[in-house]
């Protein structure tokens, strides 16, 4: 295996409320290589989203270690994690990825602005990205004026704007019909193959998981197969 973008060692997550403890992630070892496309499937409640949050540093493990780009997340400061999020990896959710009072274009360049990039220098690349995702007609519209598929393509443009090495996706096609879902999956496959971006995608769809090069099945907080 080439260099790893993610290494997780025996990670666990327990939620505690009052005197009730729920073990949601129950000891997972995982290595994901540069440029890999991994799908995570499993029943509702099996811990898929929780795992994604742990791997991306959005939530802390109760036990075990996650290394993201070689950095132990336990030892990473908030600033370091925020910098990684601005420059190295993106996150795409099932829906509501976009800021509602910004246009699609403003949404796409938002991560660059947060990273204090000069937008003039990035204009050509962003315009190429907009062509690539076929959303030229969307750029001046607000999210609520876009279809679900258009919104997800804008969300992908935003995810790609920072030229990440890795994108986490939590059911990116979950709110789309079959045709739009397929379109987004074809794009993801292309993004993975042509741009060598590693993808870690949670999905309910067996057909969509088949686009990945590796499928992990989660059951009861563990990876089954
Ligand atoms: N913050 C929390 N506090 C307490 N329990 C939680 C919390 N977050 C998740 N859980 C519980 O952990 C379990 C796994 O949740 P998770 O969202 O990871 O499942 P999932 O596999 O993503 O499900 P779905 O396919 O429905 O999205 C669920 O039983 C859920 O109720
Ligand atoms: Mg989930």
pLDDT, tens digit, for every residue of 103-124? Answer: 999 999 999 999 999 999 999 9
Q: Does 94 contact ligand 1 (Cβ within 6 A)?
A: no
Closest CA to 212 of 163, 156, 172: 172
> 193 φ, ψ to 5°?
-80, -45
Strand, coil or helix: 143: helix
Q: Does 22 contact ligand 1 (Cβ within 6 A)?
A: yes
Q: Tell me the best of 11, 45, 60 to mutate to test the pocket of ligand 1, counting ligand atoms within 8 Å of each CB and taking the most.
A: 45
State the Cα–Cα distance between residues 38 and 41, nearest whole angstrom.
10
At 96, the pLDDT band (50, 70, 90 cuts) reads: confident
At 82, the pLDDT band (50, 70, 90 cuts) reads: very high
Q: Given 3.40.50.300, 1.10.287.130, 3.10.129.10, 3.50.50.60, which CATH number is that of 4-221?
A: 3.40.50.300
State the Cα–Cα distance between residues 192 and 199, nearest whole angstrom.
7
Which strands make up the sheet holding 214-219, listed edge to edge? Answer: 89-92, 166-170, 198-202, 37-42, 214-219, 222-223
> 50 φ, ψ to 5°?
-60, -45
Radius of gyration of the chain (CA): 17
Q: Tell me the best of 19, 43, 47 to mutate to test the pocket of ligand 1, counting ligand atoms within 8 Å of each CB and taking the most.
A: 47
- Mean pLDDT of the residues in the chain: 94
């Amino acid at each position: 295996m080439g260099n790893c973008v993610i290494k997780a060692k025996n990670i666990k997550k327990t939620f505690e409320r009052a005197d009730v403890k729920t073990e949601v992630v129950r000891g997972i070892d995982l290595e994901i290589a540069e440029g890999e496309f991994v799908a995570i499937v499993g029943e509702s409640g099996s811990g898929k989203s929780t795992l994604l949050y742990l791997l991306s540093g959005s939530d802390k493990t109760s036990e075990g270690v996650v290394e993201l780009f070689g950095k132990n997340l336990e030892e990473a400061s908030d600033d370091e994690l925020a910098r990684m999020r601005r420059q190295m990896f993106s996150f795409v959710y099932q829906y509501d990825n976009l800021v509602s009072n910004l246009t699609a274009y403003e949404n796409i360049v938002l991560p660059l602005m947060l990273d204090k990039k000069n937008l003039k220098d990035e204009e050509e690349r962003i315009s190429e990205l907009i062509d690539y995702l076929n959303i030229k007609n969307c750029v001046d519209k607000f999210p609520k004026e876009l279809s679900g598929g258009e919104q997800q393509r804008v969300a992908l443009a935003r995810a790609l704007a920072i030229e990440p090495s890795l994108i986490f996706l939590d059911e990116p096609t979950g709110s789309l019909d079959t045709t739009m879902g397929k379109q987004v999956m074809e794009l993801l496959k292309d993004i993975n193959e042509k741009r060598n971006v590693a993808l870690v995608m949670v999905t309910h769809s067996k057909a969509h998981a088949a686009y990945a090069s590796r499928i992990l099945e989660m059951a009861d907080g563990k990876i089954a197969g």
